[in-house]
Amino acid sequence: MSSNALRTPGRVIRILTGCTAVGKTEFALRWAERFNAEILSCDSLLFYRGMDIGTAKPTREELSRVPHHLIDICDVTDQMDVTRFVAAAREVAESIVARGRRVLVTGGSGFYLKSFLAPVADGVEVSAEIRDRVRALTHEEAVKELRAMNPDGLGRLDAANPRRVVRALERCLASGRTVVELAEAFARQPSAFSDWEVRLVRVDRDRPELDRRIVARVSAMMAAGLVDEVRRLIPLGIERNPSAASAIGYREIIAALNAGPPPQGLEAAICRNTQGLVKKQRTWFRTQLPPHPAVNGDSADVETLFGRDD
């Protein structure tokens, strides 16, 4: 091993991202083994215990190759949020560097990924009382109250989007500030990792090859018992967690099980929906992330994945 690989790492976070099924896991494992790193997951579904097959969670063998963090930290009913994730991720990153190892973040969940690169939470604490009151309103009632609190307008807020209206009204009530004031304050705040150097690389593949990998992956998941996994998770409360229950693979099987025996077209439906997700992910990577290198999963060299200074 070269002397570079043994060099004491600084406060650098390396992020390896890419679409679903592109092959991030094996690249991350190989790079982490080669460069004395630990893996910090920013996949929003790997947080949940019991969601193993449908999330392509690293196997026991893969987890034994390199220390992993923020996997299996929540019950399936425990809804994770970005504020909680950021706090946990900072603690993990600090501890990895303190051990003299490198930090490798991997995953493709957009909001969690973006937390390493830009502010994503405004820090406004919303009480349960405010949240319950706002969510009891109809969309029209919430818009009316929000406009009353914002006589100078709602800025760029999409008032036709119920989720954004609810979020805006909660924060206006909790902070006593207008939508525009909150937006201006948010734009001024630094990202949660502004005191770290962040390097981002994306793995990609040609569309036909990625489609082939998706079909093979879904077929393997079904053969490994994904339907039975969902059957076990339903009595554990997965349907009470919208983030978990709406995940591709889980939502189709939950709907099928609630309707009766799983239909024969279930596997094909999961493949189609996964391909649709990949299309959305590619758009998100292009429009929401800063300029970054993309490497071809068929030819990328793990030795130079993040450049030659490792």
Q: Pick from 85, 37, 268, 108: which is nearest to 192 by CA?
A: 85
Q: Which CATH architecture has domain 128-188?
A: Orthogonal Bundle (1.10)
Q: What is the CA radius of gyration of the chain?
A: 21
Residue 38's φ and ψ, nearest 5 degrees, are: -120, 150
Q: Supply the DSSP string of 23-62, one letter for each residue.
A: -HHHHHHHHHHHTTEEEEE--TTTTBTT--TTTTPPPHHH
Give Cβ neighbours of residue 39 (< 8 Å, ≥ 6 apart). 28, 29, 32, 66, 67, 68, 69, 104, 105, 106
Topology given in CATH for the domain delimited by 4-119+192-304: Rossmann fold (3.40.50)
- The residue assigned the tokens 């490994």 is 224
The partner residues of 41 in beta bridges, in order of sequence, read: 106
Instruction: For the chain, list residues with pLDDT below 50.
Output: 1-9
The secondary structure element, H or E, covering residue 16 is strand 12-18
Say what the pLDDT of residue 2 is.
40
Pairwise CA distance, residues 277 & 281, whole Å? 6
- Taking CA atoms, 250 is separated from 18, 47, 112, 245, in Å, by 21, 15, 20, 6
Say what the pLDDT of residue 310 is.
59
Q: Taking the mean position of all CA atoms in its chain, how far away is CA 293?
A: 20
- Strands of 102-106's sheet in order across: 68-69, 37-41, 102-106, 12-18, 197-204, 294-296
- The residue assigned the tokens 């992020």 is 15
Q: What is the domain partition of the chain in residue ranges?
A: 4-119+192-304, 128-188
Pairwise CA distance, residues 42 & 110, whole Å? 9
pLDDT tens per residue, range 22-73: 999 999 999 999 999 999 999 999 999 999 999 999 999 999 999 999 999 9
